[in-house]
Structure 1
């Protein structure tokens, strides 16, 4: 049985981007990126909304770009080898292999996916994650907290969801990034 894991890189004040949509402050250094890569190895499927999927498609072409670090190439391979399910009412077709489009989030279908999949499932984006959190489907929360306050933007945890969590793990990086891993208290 796979776990549903909600993860993201966030500012200290809890945003995944700033008020203008910028997230260049969230680029992890090589050490933190390698750490995240190791966490991502358990994921066999990524669940995305349209906007995050469109951002993530860059990983399809990273191996063809010049001067990519081994850490970047490693993540690109992890991303390319995973299945992707994109929840979108506006996207007509997927632009990457191993990707299918679903028109609406179906909590029962995701629960079945968790039950049937031996590998973990990663869910990305606060809007999509809110539906999974509300349905009680998220098994783990993974945050990489950046030492920056951006003052507004898109919140990692959207309004209207509640999850009482217990800390499972933490890791501090010399760069000031902090990894936090939580699970729901059930």
Structure 2
């Protein structure tokens, strides 16, 4: 069975986007944090996206390595992003590119099927999609890169739950700018 990992940058008060879908609250990540995320992306065999995060990622990363000021890590991230198989879950878009498959049906059923396959870890991104997977008990690991900023509202990292989820802390790490990484595994 494949492992499913939900990881994102998050504000101290628990939001992945401020009101108006504003994700500029963190500023650019430090080189060290960016490298950590790159390493996570390299380790993932498949990336699952909700529509909003897909639109954000696909608006930049297909050509991110061609930007004049792209760092070596950004160049590698863009290449890895294009090469990694992706699944986008949406009922409102009808076309995806860059090694991506679109699923318009039952996301939980498809994620359950993908988890049952042989293969390496899968990452999941997007609050709505990850929330559905969380409520279905499908997420095995959480990675939060918490920024020292309070935004007071927006899109929460965690959605409402039907029951408690007990976790084990597996890593903590501090990055430049006061960003604190915490990783937890679901206690089964």
Between the aligned partners of 1:117 and 1:54, the Cα distance in structure 2 is: 28
Indicate the residue corresponding to 1:11 in structure 2: 11
| Offset at residue 147 of structure 1 (A) | 0.9
- 5+ residue gaps in structure 1? none
| Offset at residue 112 of structure 1 (A) | 2.6
Between the aligned partners of 1:174 and 1:29, the Cα distance in structure 2 is: 6
Indicate the residue corresponding to 1:112 in structure 2: 113
Residues 98-157 of structure 1: CA deviation (Å, up to 9, x unaligned): 111111334333223123241211110111011111111101001100111111110000
Deviates more, 1:18-27 or 1:144-153: 18-27
- For the residue of structure 2 that corresponds to 1:41, the secondary structure is helix
Between the aligned partners of 1:90 and 1:174, the Cα distance in structure 2 is: 38
Indicate the residue corresponding to 2:23 in structure 1: 23
Matched, 1:60 2:62: yes
**8 Å Cα contact 2:3-2:120 kept in structure 1:** yes
Segments of 4+ in structure 1 off by > 6 A?
none
| Offset at residue 184 of structure 1 (A) | 1.1
**8 Å Cα contact 1:50-1:86 kept in structure 2:** yes
Matched, 1:83 2:101: no
Give 1:104-143 correspondences, 5 Å limit: 104-143=105-144
- For the residue of structure 2 that corresponds to 1:47, the secondary structure is strand
Between the aligned partners of 1:90 and 1:151, the Cα distance in structure 2 is: 29
Indicate the residue corresponding to 2:103 in structure 1: 102
User: What TM-score, normalized to structure 1?
Assistant: 0.93
- 5+ residue gaps in structure 2? none
Residues 41-99 of structure 1: CA deviation (Å, up to 9, x unaligned): 211111111111000111111112212011111211221111111111110111x2211
User: What TM-score, normalized to structure 2?
Assistant: 0.92
